[in-house]
Chains A and B, each alone.
Chain A
């Protein structure tokens, strides 16, 4: 039954040094559940079958101190309970058996009370609607006089508590809107439901023939379905996004003046504190180096793909990654004043300047509510003039309200969005909310960031003579510097004779040194490796291989482009979108890449300039989709009309982007736009259908020909049609992949 073979696992990247403080991080992210037990949640995105579940549960249960481990396949999460103060090596164990695991903040994992409330209300409304419908069927099939009266009373008894419990969701929202002088979709709904119920009670008391209890409860039921679907979609995307790796460090090892040291959570680090940072850790707050030499990966912060040197005196920004050597730092800012917090302030500014997008459903509701209320009022006035019978006039006016109640409208948009979200999910794209989908459909320009978006964040070595490459690779295999990794990967299996190296040592900030056959080899920066031959400075070389100080080979690097970037860009152009590159990296690197793809480019753009560029495009009336991954893109992602980020992006980027694509493929971008455009077409069809339905139903209701039976049938039919139409999105240019998303289970699992 297992679909996991060893072959599935080979591509899982094992990160060599995940930092020395992993235990503390696990401890900080765990939560105490009593009896000396702690609980840790891990996101394990590669779980995909029962075999994985068994393998993981068995491996973790075998660890000391682990009380139990349980895998949740729907949310792709593992919950481990353990006792003691030292966490068991859960992440290492998972890595060993071939699964990537990320700490998942237990505090984010609280139950979704809103959805639970919606589902309970939905269950109660469904119970009431179905039972009242049964009684109504008896009435329609000929129950008269006392029997009909009895059934009406029973219906009233069921409807009253059900409407109070389930309907209060709409009543509360309508009341909140009315109190501040606004109107929303819930106002006509509440008025319709309350009037229908009130009139039905009156009819029951005076033994009248028609009661609308069934219509009132069915209306609440259908609208709650729409409401719950809308909510679920957003909640699910949110959990999927927050469940991925957190890039912000949780803390750092701090030295105190009395010589003691302690692991301190990031938001308790104060300026002036001295911290020790191991290679492989992220810088927790803005800081200055006081000792040590290392190189820093700034790609997520500035978009620069080449590592920057760090020595005593260098200033480092929070969120950058320490690559090669341990550093002693002095914090220069608290977490809330660090670079990251600056970004967040810029994003807030972008948000404020960004005119609020009004969702289609809200725009429709704005038109709809006054029209419906005016029609009902005119009907009442007309019938009062025509027949001078208050009771009849009120009955007919209420029938108009019920039949026009925006059932189809309330379901039309969320239903399409849920189906579209499912299509996107199957293609590895997470949608945050329906508004993002609507905005994505309007896109006419796409702007890509370079590092991590168009490029993989991996570098390739330009062609070089095989013998030197093999020697370089053998030395480079001893380091985790990005250049070393690239050389080691390029030189793999290139050696014709085995290379024997003695004592390879890494000199932080300079390179690697090794001795073999009495010769000294150096792989690293040119001025260090070529110490004996300073005049021979190879052009443009980032790394040089030397033998006793003489140049053997010069390595040049280029960013590796996404394999499907050209395909993605040509299909975007076919869809009528203008495409350009906007990067914070150096001019020559950006020009090289943009040239290869045939795109216009802007290089060395600071986050503020990126934002300004987007604002300028918006001022010209362009609807821009920003695709970016770094922290430096975050303000631009907010300022853009719509935004997408890869799942490998910085936390902030993932959190602000409208869509996050999980699969390592840029074709997700045109695919998402295509699905968004299909969804927009279906939403429009559904809205047109709702208008046609009203054009037919309203005259019938105004003429006083609507019976409760007709109202109930018309309402259910229109809702079903809207739902059925939304399903067409699934069949339309369906991809080869079978459904990967369990809809119902995910709806419910997020409600627990």
Chain B
């Protein structure tokens, strides 16, 4: 019974963390171009994406 008192909150927190991560990813535009992202990982250019002015960060 004691174990439940922390196991249940932990399980709920983990679930909530997953939910929050998904909502954040959705909002920050990480799902904007899944096909493009799949291709971009193969580019071997040396100029990394600048993150500060990413148009997808506007959300």
Interface presence of B23 (CB below 8 A): yes
Interface string of B17-33 (1 = CB under 8 A from A): 01100110010010111
Is B26 a contact partner of A745 (Cβ separation < 8 A)?
no
Is A53 a contact partner of B40 (Cβ separation < 8 A)?
yes
Would you give the shortest CB distance from B22 to chain A, in whole angstroms? 5
Residues of A49-100 at the interface with B, using a CB-CB cut-off of 8 Å, are 49-50, 53-54, 67-68, 70-75, 79, 81
Residue of B nearest to A134 (CB): B11
Q: How far is the CA of A154 from the CA of B12 in the complex (A)?
A: 10
Q: How far is the CA of A81 from the CA of B54 in the complex (A)?
A: 11
Q: How far is the CA of A50 from the CA of B35 in the complex (A)?
A: 9
Interface presence of A194 (CB below 8 A): no
Stretch at the interface among A119-127, A403-411, A494-502, A618-626: A119-127
Q: How far is the CA of A750 from the CA of B42 in the complex (A)?
A: 24
Is A752 a contact partner of B43 (Cβ separation < 8 A)?
no
Is A74 a contact partner of B53 (Cβ separation < 8 A)?
no
Most buried by A among B8, B11, B36: B36
Interface presence of A1 (CB below 8 A): yes
Measured between beta carbons, the chain B residues less than 8 angstroms from A745 are 31, 33-35
Query: Contacts A74-B34, A123-B23, A745-B35 given: A68-B11 contact, CB under 8 Å?
Result: no
Query: Contacts A68-B53, A131-B15 given: A742-B35 contact, CB under 8 Å?
Result: yes
Closest 5 CB pairs of A and B: A745-B34, A50-B39, A748-B31, A73-B36, A73-B35
Measured between beta carbons, the chain A residues less than 8 angstroms from B11 are 131, 134
Interface presence of A357 (CB below 8 A): no
Chain B contact residues: over half helix, strand or loop, or mixed?
helix
Q: How far is the CA of A74 from the CA of B4 in the complex (A)?
A: 45
Interface presence of B48 (CB below 8 A): no
Query: Contacts A120-B23, A123-B19, A131-B15 given: A749-B55 contact, CB under 8 Å?
Result: no
Measured between beta carbons, the chain B residues less than 8 angstroms from A748 are 26, 31-32, 34
Q: How far is the CA of A272 from the CA of B29 in the complex (A)?
A: 48
Q: Which of B1, B15, B55 contacts A127 (CB under 8 A)? A: B15
Would you give the shortest CB distance from B59 to chain A, in whole angstroms? 6
Q: How far is the CA of A154 from the CA of B32 in the complex (A)?
A: 36
Measured between beta carbons, the chain A residues less than 8 angstroms from B33 are 72-75, 745, 749
Would you give the shortest CB distance from B42 to chain A, in whole angstroms? 6
Q: How far is the CA of A345 from the CA of B35 in the complex (A)?
A: 41
Measured between beta carbons, the chain B residues less than 8 angstroms from A751 are 26, 31
Interface presence of B16 (CB below 8 A): yes
Measured between beta carbons, the chain B residues less than 8 angstroms from A749 are 31-34
Measured between beta carbons, the chain B residues less than 8 angstroms from A116 are 26
Most buried by B among A75, A116, A158, A749: A749
Q: How far is the CA of A116 from the CA of B15 in the complex (A)?
A: 20
Interface string of A93-114 (1 = CB under 8 A from B): 0000000000000000001000
Measured between beta carbons, the chain B residues less than 8 angstroms from A53 are 36, 39-40
Measured between beta carbons, the chain B residues less than 8 angstroms from A707 are none
Residue of B nearest to A58 (CB): B45
Query: Contacts A50-B40, A116-B26, A127-B19 given: A752-B34 contact, CB under 8 Å?
Result: no
Measured between beta carbons, the chain B residues less than 8 angstroms from A150 are 4
Interface presence of A629 (CB below 8 A): no
Q: Which of A79, A127, A154, A742 contacts B34 (CB under 8 A)? A: A742
Would you give the shortest CB distance from A426 to chain B, in whole angstroms? 15
Would you give the shortest CB distance from A620 to chain B, in whole angstroms? 47
Would you give the shortest CB distance from A142 to chain B, in whole angstroms? 15
Query: Contacts A1-B42, A39-B55, A752-B31 given: A72-B23 contact, CB under 8 Å?
Result: no
Q: How far is the CA of A154 from the CA of B11 in the complex (A)?
A: 12
Measured between beta carbons, the chain B residues less than 8 angstroms from A68 are 50, 53
Measured between beta carbons, the chain A residues less than 8 angstroms from B36 are 50, 53, 71-74
Measured between beta carbons, the chain B residues less than 8 angstroms from A147 are 1
Q: How far is the CA of A54 from the CA of B45 in the complex (A)?
A: 10
Would you give the shortest CB distance from A77 to chain B, in whole angstroms? 9
25 contacts between A and B (CB under 8 A): A1-B42, A49-B39, A50-B42, A53-B40, A54-B43, A68-B53, A70-B55, A72-B32, A74-B32, A74-B33, A75-B33, A81-B53, A119-B26, A123-B26, A127-B16, A131-B15, A154-B12, A744-B34, A745-B35, A748-B26, A749-B33, A749-B34, A751-B26, A751-B31, A752-B32
Interface presence of A130 (CB below 8 A): yes
Q: How far is the CA of A79 from the CA of B32 in the complex (A)?
A: 13
